[in-house]
Amino acid sequence: MDALLEDWAGRIREAAGGGGKLAIRGGGSKSFYGGAESGEPFAVGDYRGIVAYEPTELVVTARAGTRLADLAAVLAEKGQWLPFEPPLFGPQATVGGMLACGLSGPRRQAMGAVRDFVLGVRLLDGRGEVLSFGGQVMKNVAGYDVPRLLAGSLGTLGVILEVSLKVLPRPVAESSLRLASDEVAALQRLNQWGGRPLPISASAWHDGVLTLRLSGAAAAVVAAQRTLAGELLDEAVADAFWQSLREQEHAFFAGDAPLWRLGLPSVAPPLGLGPTLIEWGGAQRWLRGGEAGAIRAAAARVGGHATLFRADATLKAAAGVFQPLPEALARIHRNLKQAFDPQGIFNPGRMYPDL
Amino acid sequence: MEGTLADRRYTVDRTRLIRRLRAVLPASALLAEEEEMRPYDCDGLTAFRQLPLLVALPESEEQAQAILRICHELRAPVVPRGAATGLSGGATPHPDGVLVSLAKLKKIIDVDPLSRTAIVQPGVRNLAVSGAAAPYGLYYAPDPSSQIACTIGGNVAENAGGVHCLKYGLTVHNVLRVRGLTIAGDIVEFGSAALDAPGYDLLALLNGSEGLLAMITEVTVRLTPKPELAQVVIASFDDVRKAGDAVASIIAAGIIPAGLEMMDRKATHAVEPYVNAGYDLQAEAILLCESDGTPEEVAEEIGRMRAVIERSGAAGIRVSQNEAERLRFWAGRKAAFPAVGRLTPDYLCMDGTIPRRRLAEMLEAINALSEKYGLRCANVFHAGDGNLHPLIMYDANQPGELDRAAAFGAEILELSVRFGGTITGEHGVGVEKIMLMAEQFSLVEIDAFHRLKAAFDEHGLLNPGKGVPTLARCREYTQARAGSASASARP
């Protein structure tokens, strides 16, 4: 173990022995997400660098403090990328934070999420032990799939040190279309198109306008343009639009009203809870404002869940950030937390108050 | 053959257990006579046979729940079983426990073309899901070789793969929700019909957990639109190294084939007389490279694939001209296991995954080991994702051959780990490879697995003796390895 990790392990053991709490921080770009940070700051963003990258293996391994922007630049040199389009929310965003938050961009419904691409991790657990799980190969069922378990765990299970990810070649061709549509019709069409072999890689509906992105072989993109018959967007306009959704720079996300993220079955009807932006073919819906209890109940009624994505600390504390879990599941969560972090030192309350 | 199943013995009062189970199950759902239980004594790993204490065949989730509650209360082990096509002994019975077959839970509950999902019980066969989805132009993408027989519950437990994983993913990428029972009998839902369910990604954890964390009672799978067209390029090479390079070049060119498979000469020679796939028998290795999508897309991609493969020095290239020919080309690959089975009384199928760039090196090492152990070995390879299936041929009736075959296989898997890969890509650890876990993981990592397991099953009742070796076993293994290494280092 190198000196830095020795030092970290020492601090972890000290915290574990003395009732300490640690607030793990990579780049800090997503510190707004989840419950409030508490505990002594534990900065890990300097542990950075790409450890291995073999483009023909479609695998990259990077230390957790590696800036996502730096990783993307290295992949782009070889015509590859992380196809789930993780949002950065700031230039300091790191690979470890990406895994810990588990967020994905507009391409998620077509390509999957972080959890679908993580192959291996190294982490420091609550005893200060360095553990490696998974590996650098695509198919691997030796041992429980801890790497995917860490996606979205918000640092509550350990300090992520190193991450191996599957990467993919960028599509040969892309284009975006725009169509006028009301909400009901947009949801209907998105779900119908989803059942056909069309190269739709992203979708967004807001305020009567449905925008689609097509990605794939040039011939397939051109053929789908004809089938879907919308207004073709200028490439620069389209790129800026999808980027504004991924990074929440779109006008919908401006202002201080609480931002709710609803994960719903894509076929769920409009919930009528106020101004809405729909992504992922209907599976992700953003809301501004509204009453927490009503939003959570409406989401649960159609088989989904609601996350208080951005809000002030008071509202977050009152409403909780994530949809509450049924007791049998909550018990497994507490037990897992106990398994990896027996003294409960990592990011307390970041996911649920009792984790 | 008890092996690690004997690592921990459970004191179970069989008479009392039978009495309690009879009270909650119809008579036909509980088997207690030896001759009735005999058909359940192994899974696809037939070298390991073990009679369970009892066999239960629940007909509903309520019955499964009742069984688990009783077993939990009486501290009796429980081994879940699907179609038992698994190759690593994940469903081998425990001598002190109840084998719970989920074969009777075989209803397709719903197929929804609009949301592109199907809700099925665990005993539904993999291919039956695609069959039910076909009228809507949809299918279930993961296609393990055993897909005619294997069931969805087992697919989730093993995180089953297949020949189209590089593009369409493994089981974990195609399952949205698993409903199941904890060992205590609590009903839990992992994942949901919506994406990114709140909390830890327990759904991902369930996939590939080999029945050690929960018993599956219902699964929501994602359905995929059936591509309009698929075509396969079949290329022959006079050198396995060139075939390996061709695989790397295809990926480097930015192509993700729908399937990318390699077979060595021994494998093609086993297959050709059996299915007449039309393979080039002069070749040292053949490559199957598939494209699917719209007709325009396929034409464009096949052109790019052809160009790359030609540049890689292929001795011959053919492209399937119609669906019948495409299926014939694939039939050879899909029949590789039974074809090898015709050449030998017994065979062991290994399942290591390695970084693709080490392929040629690995095949040379396997040839050397084949000579060392005096056993033949044919190789089929999911080249797209680095997953190698060496088929080691032996005769169990010849004294010592099974042990030699096992040692041969273990050396291949040790090499897989040394090359930066894993001891199992898609078949699971089960009882077969449990000791090799110590090759891939440190003691603290193995201990973390035990703690994770305890988070679901504190008394260690679900499928004990599988998947993760005890720490004592790991220490023994490491000591034995150190001993043999120093012995062989002596002049």
> What is the Cα–Cα distance from B462 to B456, expressed in whole angstroms?
9
B349 and B434 together in one domain? yes
Print the domain residue range for B51.
3-101
- The reported pTM is 0.96
> What is the Cα–Cα distance from A185 to B112, expressed in whole angstroms?
18
Rounded to 5 degrees, what are φ and ψ at B157?
-60, -35
Q: What is the CATH number of the domain that holds B33?
A: 3.30.43.10
Q: How near does any CA of chain A get to the CA of B477, in Å?
A: 17
A213 and A106 together in one domain? no
B327 and B233 together in one domain? yes
| A151 CB within 8 Å of a chain B CB | yes
A177 and A165 together in one domain? no
- Local confidence pLDDT in tens for the 491 residues of chain B: 578 999 999 999 999 999 999 999 999 999 999 999 999 999 999 889 999 999 999 999 999 999 999 999 999 999 999 999 999 999 999 999 999 999 999 999 999 999 999 999 999 999 999 999 999 999 999 999 899 999 999 999 999 998 899 999 999 999 999 999 999 999 999 999 999 999 999 999 999 999 999 999 999 999 999 999 999 999 999 999 899 889 989 998 999 999 999 999 999 999 999 999 999 999 999 999 999 998 988 999 999 999 999 999 999 999 999 999 999 999 999 889 999 999 999 999 999 999 988 988 999 999 999 999 999 999 999 998 899 999 999 999 999 999 999 999 999 999 999 999 999 999 999 999 999 999 999 999 999 999 999 999 999 999 999 999 999 999 999 998 887 765 544 43
Residues 105-134 of A with CB under 8 A from B: 108-109, 112-113, 115-116, 125, 129-133
3-state secondary structure of A306: strand
Q: How near does any CA of chain A get to the CA of B296, in Å?
A: 5
Is residue B430 a contact partner of residue B88, using CB atoms and an 8 Å limit? yes
CA angle A308, A313, A315 (to 5 degrees): 55
In a domain, B368, yes or no: yes
Q: How many domains does chain A have?
A: 3
Q: How near does any CA of chain A get to the CA of B87, in Å?
A: 13
A268 and A239 together in one domain? no
What angle in degrees, to the nearest 10, is found between the helix axes of B443-456 and B471-489? Answer: 160
DSSP string, A230-294: -EEPPHHHHHHHHHHHHTT-SGGG-SSS-EEEEE--TTPPP---SSEEEEGGGTEEEEES--HHH
> What is the Cα–Cα distance from A315 to A308, expressed in whole angstroms?
9
For tokens 């009503």, what's the residue? A294
Instruction: Give the nearest partner residue to B194 out of A108, A305, A336, using CB atoms.
Output: A305
CB atoms within 10 A of CB A279: 25
- A116/B165 CB distance under 8 A: no
In a domain, B315, yes or no: yes
A2-16, A153-167, B310-324, B328-342: range with lowest mean pLDDT: B328-342
A137-155: average pLDDT: 96
Q: What per-residue confidence (pLDDT) applies to B489?
A: 44
For tokens 């000469």, what's the residue? B265
Rg (CA), chain A: 21
A7 and A104 together in one domain? yes
A144 and A165 together in one domain? yes
B331 and B348 together in one domain? no
Print the domain residue range for A52.
3-169+334-340
Q: Which residue of B has its CA nearest to A126?
A: B448
A109-125: average pLDDT: 97
B351 and B380 together in one domain? yes
Work out the mean pLDDT of chain A and round it to a whole number.
97
Q: What is the CATH number of the domain that holds A164?
A: 3.30.465.10
Q: What is the DSSP letter of B68?
A: H
A21 and A101 together in one domain? yes
A12 and A124 together in one domain? yes
| A226 CB within 8 Å of a chain B CB | no
A160 and A15 together in one domain? yes
Among the three residues A227, A246, A265, which one is the final residue of a domain in this structure? A246
B254 and B318 together in one domain? yes
| A251 CB within 8 Å of a chain B CB | no
Q: What is the CATH number of the domain that holds A229?
A: 3.30.70
CB atoms within 10 A of CB B359: 25
Which residues, other chains included, contact A297 with Cβ-Cβ below 8 Å and sequence gap of 6+? Answer: none
Q: What per-residue confidence (pLDDT) applies to A1?
A: 64
Q: Please list every residue in chain B whose beta carbon sits closer than 8 Å to the beta carbon of residue A329.
A: 188-189, 199, 202
In a domain, A48, yes or no: yes
| Burial category of A211 from C-beta neighbours within 10 Å (exposed 0-12, middle 13-18, buried 19 and up) | buried
A156 and A10 together in one domain? yes
Q: What is the CATH number of the domain that holds B401?
A: 3.30.70.2740
| A285 CB within 8 Å of a chain B CB | no
Instruction: Give the nearest partner residue to B204 out of A141, A145, A191, using CB atoms.
Output: A145
Q: How many domains does chain B have?
A: 3
Q: Please list every residue in chain A whose beta carbon sits closer than 8 Å to the beta carbon of residue B357.
A: 54, 56-57
Among the three residues A193, A226, A246, which one is the final residue of a domain in this structure? A246
